[in-house]
Structure 1
Amino acid sequence: MTTLVVCIDRDSPVSTEYPVVGRSSVEPLITETGVEDPEDSRVNCLLEGVRVADELEAEGSEPLLVVVGGGTDTVGTDRHIATQVEDLVETYGPDSAIVVVDSADDEQLVPIIESRVQVDAVDRVVVRQARDIESTYYLLKQFLADEELRKTVLVPLGLAMVAFPILLIVANSTTIAIGAIAAAAGVFLIYKGLGIDTYLSRLPGEIREALYSGQVSLVTYVVAVGLSLVGLFAGALGVSDIEDPATFVLVNRFAFDSVPWLTAAALAASLGRLLDELIQREGVRSAYVNLPFGAVAVGLVVRGFSAYFLERGGVFDAFRVTRTDLGIVVVQGFTMEAGTRLAVFILAGILISLLGVRVATYVSRTDIESELAE
């Protein structure tokens, strides 16, 4: 059983008569080709042909190593190779063939050989260094074909490259230009890292669904946004009255004035979500029940600490309870120290938090609808 091991050698750098038949004739061709151009991948193709022939011989087959090729014109070379294969088939009468190629151009000749003799296998030889380059090329090609990756990487990179010379011209400072681009890149990374883009893409659909389904939380969320804006405005007004420019004092003053409004905003949003759970489900999860209590508890604790620091910093006077006459009960006026006042706020926050846990535990064990029916 004769098997042709066909190495395709188009536009060879050496002048020789094709086809080259037999290992004894191919080995000098390998040396001559390697000396002429050591970087040529066809040397590896010819060596692979020798290896395949040795492997077939070890298995008991009768391999015939041949090299076909020659010529520089594409059409003329292909027709010349077809004639060579026909002559080899007619002379040696092989049962099958194995084609060894080292490029995509050479692989295009496989159908020509296959039409003359049965081709059992095609051995593609890729040099390791070339494989790395080829892999990089296909990775880049795949990257450029992915629309999401292009938007995420190429667009910000392009904007940074356009913005940098503009900032240099406007600001006339390399430090400012680099700082501005770094800040923009940081904002973009936070935007992508926190998934804000995903949330914003889902937001219109969620709002539309909330409008159609009549969710109470949609209204309470709007109320919460309004209360939050009021809180931020109140905090800004409080900071504007501070004469001491110390950052710590400014932060605590802002927190003291804004926390009640922000707590009310969190309370409105959590109550709306809780009502939606009660309406849409047979029961309610304990986390939604505990959320309003947690918002109030956190608000009390934050306000207590900010008041303590402001009082110790001399921004506020000591808290004084005036004398109150309730008829049966008379409350004498007294001054509450800063530490005592802070302890009261912390204790109130803990008690409200514990109350929320107790109510959430009770609700999670009770069927709300059955309780209301009773």
Structure 2
Amino acid sequence: MTQGRTLVLSVDRDDDIGWKAQVESPCIGRAACLKAANTLALADPEDSDVNAIFSAIKIYDELTAKGEDTAIAVIAGNHLHMIEGDRRIAASLEKVVDETKAANCILVTDGAEDEYVIPIIQSKIPVSSIRRVIVNQMPNLEGTYYILKKFFDDPKISRMVFIPIGLAMLLYAIAYLFGSPGIATIIVVGVIGCYLLYKGLGFDELFHGIWDALKLSLSRGRFSFVTYTMTFLLIILGSTAGFANILKYYSSDGSLGLITYLMTFLFGALGWLILAGLVLSVGVIFDVFSNERENLGKVIVFPFFVTAIGLILYGASVYIISITGVPDFPLSTDTTSKYILWSTIGGIISAIAGVMTQHVINKKIAESRKQEIIEVM
């Protein structure tokens, strides 16, 4: 027999019980879990999480009938934002473990996202068994059509698929109306390519995190809300200046390579982008100093590293532009050779200064903690 209390845990990562059935999680105990399953079944009888919760209840009943010390719970994440959802799962599981005093866990899922959920669960409680509940379907054309229809009816999926395709088609139609079908094709391919990179590199989660941080700073009245807003505006100004630089040199010589265009963008935008990074760093440092001073060492390096990266990129951009022979570039190769040398040295000095400052801050924080412990004792 398994040592300690066993927790039968059903995980609804996309929070269908909250999104569709308006059931607050975590649900702890057989009665609460059964109520959540029935409510979700009435809201959406075809949801696979219904079967997962009922399967968890069945496992709980079987183990209880054998005389095992068993608990049961259902926890959920977030329907739209996976990062916030996973954090909610971790927090909910911690609460469930504290309340049930469980020593191990039997995980029950619908099999869709096990690889994401399992590490989170294992970080809080040992997983002794995993039960994947797969609902049998008739593999005919009508069933496939119905599954796809339900798939695209989900607002999370429809926004991810329909918006980029619709935007690309709209831009193509506008460009075609202005008599530029060649540009229209470039626009469509560019929009789809940018969207695929945006999703593939995880920028969507990054922007969700930034947006959540912005809302949090506003709701708590933090200074960083102002700096977040200023940073956003500075990034727009920098991007505009960078693209204006590209258009300037594209009009003078349309045969420049991709690397040269990237460097001309950086040459025009870097000043604004560095300023944006510094403004953001100041806001974060101010808030951490005011509210979470023990974490000051983690963020104090931000302005130093922003300056270091900015200096190195600036030196590299002007040097590459000068050696590629861009017409009308104001700096000569000899001058840019000095630029890249001194900017690299300046960047290294800035990075070293940041690391040393972080070391000093962390040392002072550690000494302060020791002093507090001594005073308490």
Q: TM-score, normalised by structure 1?
A: 0.46
Q: Which has the larger radius of gyration?
A: 1
Q: TM-score, normalised by structure 2?
A: 0.46
